[in-house]
Copies of this chain bind each other. A is one copy, B any other.
Amino acid sequence: MSGPEALRPDEDLASAISGASRTDAKRLAIIDAATQLFIARGYDRTSMDEIAASAQVSKQTVYKQFQDKPSLFREMVLGITQRAEGIVEAISAHFEGIDRAEELEEGLRGLARSYAGAVLAPPVIRLRRLVISEADRFPDLARAYYVRAPGCGLDAVADGLRLLDRRSLLHVDDPPVAAGHFSYLVLGQLIDRKLFDPSDQITDTEIAEHSHGAVRVFIAAYR
């Protein structure tokens, strides 16, 4: 609501300069605490008391800022999802760096490694599990997340493959389908492992080896 664009007399100077009112700061603290707790403990096992305590705010303040627990959960998930854009840019950058045929295999390997590294990062995979877990209770939220996170990744890969097709480095008739093949060759099994076993620490070496095989298969099919 309020932002740095206006000085309102009911705010003290410090908060006006910092660009956020006290209530906005508390709102952020609440969202932050909710993010940590929901991701770490799940929806049902996180109580509004815990969120308030962790945000160092009273429970009443939480209910002033957010209508109820479902609303807070929605805002948290949708807010965090916007940060997924970083991955998309990284994917595009990798593709654009592939100019010549000799660079193709190593370029795709590098892409696969950073793609997998981003998706398998502990907070990211935990958020994925959380959203999947609550897909029955929040079906619209799960669909929105799918479009914004995995969907955007797939789109970025499709765009990149279209580029490589134009550069005559690959033959890609149907970029979205090919993007699905690439993405799930690279990510499918690793995501599954992490979803079922949160404690499974997938090393960079494993990711690299897995990416190597996945890229080899992909290139064999689309060269």
Contacts from A to B (Cβ < 8 Å): 41-42, 44-45, 129, 131-133, 135-136, 139, 142-143, 145-146, 150, 174, 177, 180-181, 183-185, 187-189, 191-193, 195-199, 213-214, 216-218, 220-222
In-complex Cβ contact of A221 among B129, B180, B216 (8 A): B216
> B residues within 8 A CB of A145?
196
- Tell me the minimal C-beta distance from A77 to chain B in angstroms: 12
| B136 & A42 in contact (Cβ 8 Å cutoff) | yes
Copies in the complex: 2
| A181 & B185 in contact (Cβ 8 Å cutoff) | yes
**Interface of chain A: mostly helix, strand, loop or mixed:** helix
Bound complex: CA A145 to CA B198 (Å): 14
In-complex Cβ contact of A131 among B42, B44, B135, B196 (8 A): B196
Bound complex: CA A129 to CA B129 (Å): 9
In the complex, which residue of chain B has the Cβ closest to the Cβ of A180? B189
Known: A185-B188, A221-B221. 18 other contacts (CB 8 A): A41-B136, A129-B132, A133-B133, A135-B198, A136-B198, A139-B198, A139-B199, A143-B197, A146-B197, A150-B196, A181-B185, A181-B213, A183-B188, A184-B184, A187-B188, A217-B218, A220-B220, A220-B221
> B residues within 8 A CB of A198?
135-136, 139
| B136 & A195 in contact (Cβ 8 Å cutoff) | no
> B residues within 8 A CB of A143?
196-197
In the complex, which residue of chain B has the Cβ closest to the Cβ of A126? B136
Bound complex: CA A70 to CA B185 (Å): 35
> B residues within 8 A CB of A180?
188-189
- Tell me the minimal C-beta distance from A217 to chain B in angstroms: 4
> Can you list the 8 inter-chain pairs with the closest CB atoms, starting with the nearest?
A184-B188, A188-B188, A133-B133, A220-B221, A217-B221, A146-B196, A44-B44, A180-B189
Most B C-beta atoms less than 10 A away, residue of A129, A136, A193: A136
Q: What are 15 pairs between A and B in contact, CB < 8 Å?
A: A42-B133, A129-B132, A132-B133, A132-B195, A133-B133, A135-B195, A135-B196, A136-B198, A150-B192, A181-B185, A187-B188, A188-B188, A188-B189, A217-B218, A220-B221
